[in-house]
Amino acid sequence: MLFWLVCLVLTLAVTALMVAPLLRAPVVQQDNPDVLLYRAQLDEIDRDVARSVLAADEAERAKTEIARRLLAANKATMPADETGKPTFAVSLLLAAIICTLTFGIYWQLGAPGYGDLPLKSRLAASAEMRANRPNQSALETAAPAMDPVDASEDYLEAITQLRIIAPSRPDDLEAWELLAFHETELRNFAAAAAAQETVVRIKGDAATINDRRIQLDLMVVATGGFVSPEAEALARQILDLDKTNLAARYYLGAMYDQTDRPDLAFRLWRDVVENGDPGQFHVANARALIADTAFRAGFEYALPEARGPSFADMDAAADMAPEDQQAMIGGMVAGLAERLATEGGPAEDWARLIRAYGVLGEKEAAATVWNEAQEVFVSSMRGMEILTNAARDAGVLE
């Protein structure tokens, strides 16, 4: 109530300052300027006579002439300008317009009824939001259902049998890896995440960061993009093993962004955006969200340009002369293959390498890369789609 009272008083004060000049009558000069001049001349003649500067008879003649002109000037005096008078109705209308626009604009752009949000209260609310998040199971239940995958009856029957076999063999790594892969293919991401968790458990200390990253991807996809407390714990576990892991940093930033801490999300995503490959899934998502997050956090941030060769570069090589084609693709393949072998990379880079080998006619090498890439991107539908198209273009798949 106090807020609205202050707004009302300030609005009325500003309105009064703007309308008050319209209510004051304009000062209009009603006397003819010549009248003042002639009266001054008459006074001057009287002073000249008193000082004996002007003879009495000459003074009388001068006064007669000036009096004649003064009479004529009085007749010519213009009346006051009635059009300049203030109009109360116009002033009232202007005041109503100002008040209406003021409160109308605030009603549209402001937040009527929204309480004060001091920083301390916001931080406390954010911490409470993180502490009271639903768990993985609840988020999976609330997530929207995925469209069913068009698969053959034989395939579905085989997966049904695999779902029976794998639980009966709790330490059969191959069975659980197959179940995780095929549940992902069928978009049963909650089941896929559970199977991948078992894969990590069976591998124990031999489980790689990539194994855990696949599990983290599946957990977040299964909840419709929300980062549960369990997913957060896994992301922090990955960061304990690899402080520069972009996937874990992305999901940790997403968790902060979802719990009203855009400042922390921005700091995490900035590292992901500036140090990751734009073609990678996590980096691409961070690039799409970081501008809005920076704005909400109060930071000015310019998104860096994407870098690296594109699919168009690879396609253009197919139209070159054989010797130019070999030189261009040979250099690209050598550098790209070395980087993927040592550092890994997004599905787009693996697809470029597969296509490059296809253009060079090295189908066996393309098939090898295709097989390796499937193991890396088994949990990413988009990644598998990109890789499948590249393998088909390279002649690896029919």
Task: Note the pTM of the prediction, 2 decimals.
Answer: 0.57
Amino acid at 319: D
What is residue 76's predicted lDDT score, i.e. its pLDDT?
Answer: 64
The pLDDT confidence band at residue 79, using thresholds 50, 70 and 90, is low
Pick the residue with more confidence: 252 or 119?
Answer: 252
Pick the residue with more confidence: 46 or 75?
Answer: 46
What is residue 68's predicted lDDT score, i.e. its pLDDT?
Answer: 83
- Of 50-64, 124-138, 139-153, 361-375, the one with minimum mean pLDDT is 50-64
CA distances from 336 to 43, 96, 311, 329, 373 (A): 107, 69, 13, 10, 14
d(CA 156, CA 187): 13
CA distances from 86 to 12, 83, 94, 96, 120 (A): 20, 8, 13, 17, 52
pLDDT in tens, 194-249: 999 999 999 999 999 999 999 999 999 999 999 999 999 999 999 999 998 999 99
pLDDT in tens, 339-385: 777 777 777 778 888 888 887 778 888 888 888 888 788 767 777 87
d(CA 192, CA 194): 5
Contact 303, 290 (CB under 8 A): yes
Nearest to 340 by CA among 373, 380, 383: 373
Torsion, CA 79, CA 82, CA 84, CA 86, rounded to 10? 140
The pLDDT confidence band at residue 283, using thresholds 50, 70 and 90, is confident
**DSSP string for 337-348:** HHHHHHT---HH
Amino acid at 287: R
Is residue 174 packed enough to be buried (19+ CB in 10 Å), middle (13-18) or exposed (0-12)?
exposed
What is residue 88's predicted lDDT score, i.e. its pLDDT?
Answer: 73
Torsion angles phi and psi, residue 381, rounded to 5: -65, -45
Exposure b/e, 319-351, CB count within 10 A at least 16 = b: eeeeeebeebbeebbeebbeebeeeebbbbbbb
Q: What is the mean pLDDT of residues 69-92?
A: 65
- Torsion region of 52: left, alpha or beta (phi above 0 gives left; psi -120 to 50 gives alpha): left
pLDDT in tens, 11-66: 888 888 877 777 776 555 555 667 777 778 888 888 877 887 778 788 788 888 88
What is residue 309's predicted lDDT score, i.e. its pLDDT?
Answer: 47
What is residue 90's predicted lDDT score, i.e. its pLDDT?
Answer: 76
Residues 6 or more apart whose CB falls under 8 angstroms from that of 336 comprise 349, 352, 353, 356
Which of 5-19, 135-149, 169-183 ranks highest by mean pLDDT?
169-183
Exposure b/e, 94-105, CB count within 10 A at least 16 = b: ebeebeeebbee
Residues 6 or more apart whose CB falls under 8 angstroms from that of 268 comprise 249, 250, 252, 253, 256
